[in-house]
Amino acid sequence: MRILMIEDDKDLCQNISLALKQSGWETDCCHTGNDGLYLARIYPYDAIILDRMLPETDGMKVLESLRRQNITTPVILATALDRLHDRIDGLDAGADDYLVKPFAVEELMARIRAVTRRSANLRLSPKLSLSGLSLDPEQHLLEYGTVSLTLSRREGTLMEFFLRHPHQTLPRSQIIAYVWGGCEVEDGNLDNYIHFLRRRLKTVKAPVRLATVHGIGYRLETISPHTD
């Protein structure tokens, strides 16, 4: 499980991150609302722990922005604001839970388990699709019509990112960040995997293509029936 913690108290963030990692959960920390929004958009987190009082963009605005963009990752608001209307405002804005500081790490972990269980139960179908092409992100299974094939883990993650953002030009830096995380990779690795995916799409004969946007990145788009 991968958790994003958006918290401007760096010591608190480090302590909680260490406790979560000791339980086997990967944890990313950032300390401003803007950084949190960026990470939440490009990584498939299982849950987000969000402070309300943040520099640049406060936690409520971060939460509202995520929900407007249809990012449904479970969010636990963690804040010192404990009045009833604060809790109601947070839940109405799209939070899945509300935790008042100070709190025990064990309680936070229990709440993370609870919101991720609810989120999993609400996922009726994990498949992503475009123009008849579908991908099961968990199985890395790519299907079109009666043809199906299993992608490698890296290919599956790359295809998932494109299917989550169809018809959008995705910068190389965002694609690399999503597929390789914080690892340093050679720029040519992305081009190699784009080549692999293009061959996969050709194999299943799907009416979509990965278009190169020179100087920026790539875009997954539907092929017009009149396109040569």
Tens digit of pLDDT for each residue in 104-133? 888 888 988 888 876 555 454 478 899 999
User: What digits encode the pLDDT tens for the residues 188-205?
Assistant: 889 999 999 999 999 999
Lookup: tokens for 134: 């579908």
Asked if residue 77 belongs to a domain, the reply is: yes
Pair (180, 112) in one structural domain: no
Say how many domains are in the chain.
2
Give the per-residue pLDDT at 155: 92
Prior bond to 207 cis, omega within 30? no
Among residues 122, 149, 176, which one ends one of the domains? 122
Q: Is the dihedral of CA 219, 220, 225, 227 positive or negative?
A: positive
3-state secondary structure 165-177: CCCCCEEHHHHHH
Q: Which of 10-24, 81-95, 115-129, 159-173 has the lowest mean pLDDT?
A: 115-129
Residue 184: what pLDDT?
65
114 and 169 part of one domain: no
Q: Let me know whether 109 and 169 are in one domain.
A: no
CB 216 within 8 A of CB 171: yes
Strand order in the sheet with 170-171: 170-171, 217-222, 208-213
**Which has the closest alpha carbon to 50: 26, 81, 21, 24?**
81
| Average pLDDT across the chain, whole number | 86
Choice between 49 and 118, residue whose per-residue pLDDT is larger: 49
Instruction: State residue 124's pLDDT score.
Output: 43
With cut-offs at 50, 70 and 90, classify the pLDDT of residue 72.
confident
**Do 11 and 103 belong together in one domain?**
yes
Backbone angles phi, psi at 187, to 5 degrees: -60, -30
Q: What is the pLDDT of residue 183?
A: 59
| Environment class of 26 (CB within 10 Å of its CB; exposed 0-12, middle 13-18, buried 19+) | middle
**CB neighbours of residue 133 within 10 Å:** 22
CA dist., res. 179 & res. 223, Å (int): 25
Q: Alpha-carbon distance 9 to 24, whole Å?
A: 23
Please say which residue of 101, 122, 143 terminates a domain: 122
Kindly state whether residue 228 falls inside one of the protein's structural domains: no
Does 9 share its domain with 84? yes
Residue that is last in its domain, among 72, 105, 122? 122
The pLDDT of residue 94 is 86
Within a domain: 227: no
* pLDDT score, position 206: 92
Paired tokens of 219: 């875009």
Tokens of 109: 């972990």
- The answer on 132 and 117 residing in a single domain is no
79 inside domain: yes
For the stretch 139-186, pLDDT in tens is 889 999 999 999 998 899 899 989 988 999 998 888 887 787 655 677
Q: Do 103 and 18 belong to one domain?
A: yes
Residues 10 and 112 in one domain: yes
HSE, CB side, 13 Å, CA atoms: give it for residue 28: 22
Q: Which domain holds residue 211?
A: 128-222
Q: Which residues sit opposite 147 in a β-bridge?
A: 144
89-93, 134-138, 166-170, 178-182: least confident range: 178-182
- Residue of 68, 61, 49, 66 whose CA lies nearest to 8: 49
In a shared domain, residues 115 and 187? no
